[in-house]
Structure 1
């Protein structure tokens, strides 16, 4: 075997090994009340685990009954009961043949006490993020509870943001470009509870 054939064979083995070791993370993860759903993988033998943490903790904990399942949805009522406020950050990770994907955070389609209710109005060059000002945190904390709207072009970090008690209008956006949003409650200047939109 020539040196170039050895090199090509070595590279081919590395590419195959990398492809076998990678697991695509779950996509389109949404939570609605007690149900978390996601788009299933196209590969065979993929299992999923739903995990949670409080908004002030980093460690992820498996949701009982949602560990290593083949389904693309799971009821997380048991985990919600664990948190005093009932507000949790939910994540889903995929696993295939012992290899795990990164855990992807779920986002809420509908607002509730845990995440802001968000509607979008788009026009050429600007976007209005419609938010409710009479949510439960506003009733409890008054003007100390606001929305923080992060935004950016799809695929880029969401670093720019605007704070407001109600709706936010973003001007000067590029036409024909897809933008992503993350809306977060802020209470006394601290982040709390999140909804994401793409």
Structure 2
């Protein structure tokens, strides 16, 4: 592994151990690469930006599983990015088929306008950064529950910790995300608040 690769692997390890500074450095270093790969596949700037946010959420969740023996971080990120792009294109294809078969329903429901799309993208980017500033356990619990579709009971069993501990990680994690959003001036964050308040 070359010097740059070693530094990046160390950054990734620190990030997965809960370092917000390492996350920021990793994000700044690899955001251009991820964006370039995404643009080549989806061919749309807004879609590519959304893919970037999805990829870095996945890095936060699965970064500890990176194995340098199987390839460079650049290759790992490129494969991950391409996979997320293809997932997005498949979803769009299904949506197009639904629109063609049930146009009236979609007209009645309405489609988001440019302002809503921009707002959603900004919120997702802010959420990625907020997650990067959480303590490790809180971040893992939040990402696993809301983006990995894992239940708190499943996490409790997998980590061999009391269910109440997992609940605390999620609760404090959401509280800290809200604090990050408040600092950025957001009055309402993404659907995490709605889910947690139920």
Q: TM above 0.5, one fold?
A: no
Larger radius of gyration: 1
In terms of fraction of residues, the more helix-rich structure is 2
TM-score (norm 2): 0.23
In terms of fraction of residues, the more strand-rich structure is 1
TM-score (norm 1): 0.23
